Amino acid sequence: MITWLTLLKEHGTADTAEAFHKAGFATLQYDHRHWGSSDGLPRQHVNLFQQAEDLSDAITYMAGRSDVDGDRIAIWGIGYGGGVVVQTGAYDKRAKAVMAISPFFSGEIDMLRFPPTAYREAWEERASRIANPEIEHKYVPIFAEAMEMAEKSPLASIIGNP
């Protein structure tokens, strides 16, 4: 029987996916919506609940394959992906094992590197949208689009320095 291991496209997972595949595991590697080779706008949009939903959809896809044992599905994630697999495993019981390396859940420490007013502005913007749903979402890119942007305007993205 083939066991499936989900690997999110993150640091070091491509080599790990290949190693598991060579060991006889069926593997699926993908990018979350809005990231990498997946489509979706805005780019680099992070939404734990959407990403857990997408991972659950990936479980559905793999469980439906004739060459995969749907009762032996495991999910894997590193960093923020570790938080996604824990979230997914909490409600999708088809995942029989959850492997998380350095799961990133709250971002409290990382938030210290954000532009000084980003956290306060995000909550103010959210409160404004609750009061007036017509207000458009404000998106701040996580990474600068180019080195020139990072050098010119380091506060225009969350991780904006060169």
Q: Where are the domains of the chain?
A: 4-101, 110-156
Q: What is the pLDDT of residue 96?
A: 92
Give the pLDDT mean for 43-69: 89
Question: Cα–Cα distance between 128 and 124 in angstroms, integer?
Answer: 6
Q: Which fold has domain 4-101?
A: Rossmann fold (3.40.50)
Distances in Å between the Cα of 90 and the Cα atoms of 35, 93, 96, 97 are 23, 7, 11, 11
CA distance 36 to 86: 21
Percent of the chain with pLDDT over 70: 80
CA dihedral 8, 9, 14, 20 (to 10 degrees): 10
Model confidence at 57, in pLDDT bands (50, 70, 90)? very high
Quick one: average pLDDT of 76-105? 86
Average pLDDT score over residue span 121-142 = 84
Q: Which of 63, 39, 36, 34 is nearest to 51 (CA)?
A: 34
Q: How many C-beta atoms surround the C-beta of residue 71 within 10 A? A: 10
User: Helix, strand or coil for residue 81?
Assistant: helix
Contact between 54 and 88 (Cβ < 8 Å): no
